[in-house]
Amino acid sequence: MTKEILYLNASDIDRVNMSPSDMRTVLGDAFRAYGRSSLRIPSKQTVRASSDRYFQTMAAVCAEPPFAAVKWVSVVGENNQRGLPSVNGLLILGDFETGLPLAVIDANRLTVIRTAAMSALASEYLATPKSNSLGFVGCGAQAYGHLAALKDVLPSVTNVVCFDRSNESAEKFASHANSQGLLGRATDKVDDVLGADIIVSTVPSVEGMQPFLDARKLKPGSLAIAIDMGRSWLRESLSAFDCFVVDDKEQAEDPDNRSKLAYGGPFDADLASLTNGVGDGRKGASDRVLFIYPGFALADLAVASELYARAVQMNIGTKMMR
């Protein structure tokens, strides 16, 4: 019986230093295997205390890679005013064959990098070639993670437009983009962002927040990545999109998840169908595409299992006795 459980905190995850390319490869392999597997992963379970305070569990089991995982997450919109992360969580990773727990992993950092990796994987299939501009609506942790992941998958990117309700956050993120060799620019006009080739919206769930992004103002060929489940997009404008893609169709069709998404289907493709070459993604260079997703536990499992394997090999993390 395994007597030790490895704990990986945020610093440990950074020390493992998985590259954005490696994460896309791990996710691509996992989604391809999932598309061929008979195993099904259930939708996340949510206990909602209010519109901006809820608690979730996400479970996944996969034979390839051979692990099981469950992630506990809390989402509290008011934490932004407290100087705390609005999303917090932990993941438990277990062995597929024995069911024994192997690791506990900080899910704050894990969620950022796995979400960005999912968006980058989708961009391989949905972004137009030679996309050279990124627009960010919301300049928090997810924006930083997405910049690294999208810069890696789209080397033609040169320009980054940054909008946030906090001008200070937008300016700080623009400076970060400049430090990465890109041309970062903060703006207080959200329509400036809508002129980019790829738009990433990461607006947190806050009581009373009203949609304000108009998809009809997007230029032809653009890709919108709605990390915020589309809450920032005007619902009446979503018909301007020509193609709708989600992380997993079965999960998105679950009534609880569908109720959280600004667009609830039908969907043209998901990541399993795209990576297996059977999904209908972008059909033409002028299509406006929306990638909207509530998050899928398979991605957490795939990235966590790779982090765990590398951490063991590199002797990183804290060993805890059961």
Domains annotated on the chain, with CATH: 4-110+298-321 (3.30.1780.10), 113-295 (3.40.50.720)
Averaged pLDDT for residues 241-269: 89
Tokens describing residue 261: 């998404």
> Model confidence at 280, in pLDDT bands (50, 70, 90)?
confident
pLDDT at 158 over 90: yes
- Average pLDDT (219-225) is 97
d(CA 143, CA 158): 16
Considering the chain, what percentage of its residues have pLDDT values greater than 90? Answer: 75
- Which pTM value belongs to this model? 0.93
Per the model's pLDDT, the better-predicted residue between 177 and 293 turns out to be 177
User: Which has the minimum average pLDDT: 68-77, 116-125, 219-228, 276-285?
Assistant: 276-285
Q: For 35-57, what is the mean pLDDT?
A: 87
Q: Which of 25, 7, 182 is nearest to 105 (CA)?
A: 7
Q: Which residues have CB under 8 Å from 306's CB, separation 6+?
A: 18, 22, 23, 26, 65
Instruction: Output 205 or 214, whichever has higher pLDDT.
Output: 214
Run of H or E residues at 156: none
54-60 long-range Cβ contacts below 8 angstroms, 24+ apart: 58/295, 58/296, 58/297, 58/300, 59/297, 60/297, 60/298, 60/300, 60/301
Predicted confidence (pLDDT) at residue 287 exceeds the cutoff of 90: yes
More confident residue, 168 or 294: 168
Residues 6+ apart with CB under 8 A from 172: 139
- pLDDT over 70 (residue 1): no
Label residue 2 by pLDDT band (50, 70, 90): low
Cα angle, residue 59 at apex, residues 56 and 63 outer, rounded to 5°: 165
Mean of the per-residue pLDDT values of the chain? 93
Give the per-residue pLDDT at 209.
Answer: 79
pLDDT tops 60 at residue 47: yes
- Report d(CA 226, CA 275) in Å as an integer: 20
Q: What angle do CA 93, 96, 102 make, to 5 degrees?
A: 35
Dump the DSSP string for 74-115.
EEETTHHHHTS-SEEEEEEEEETTT--EEEEEEHHHHHHHHH
The 10s digit of each residue's pLDDT in 75-98 is: 888 887 888 888 899 999 999 999
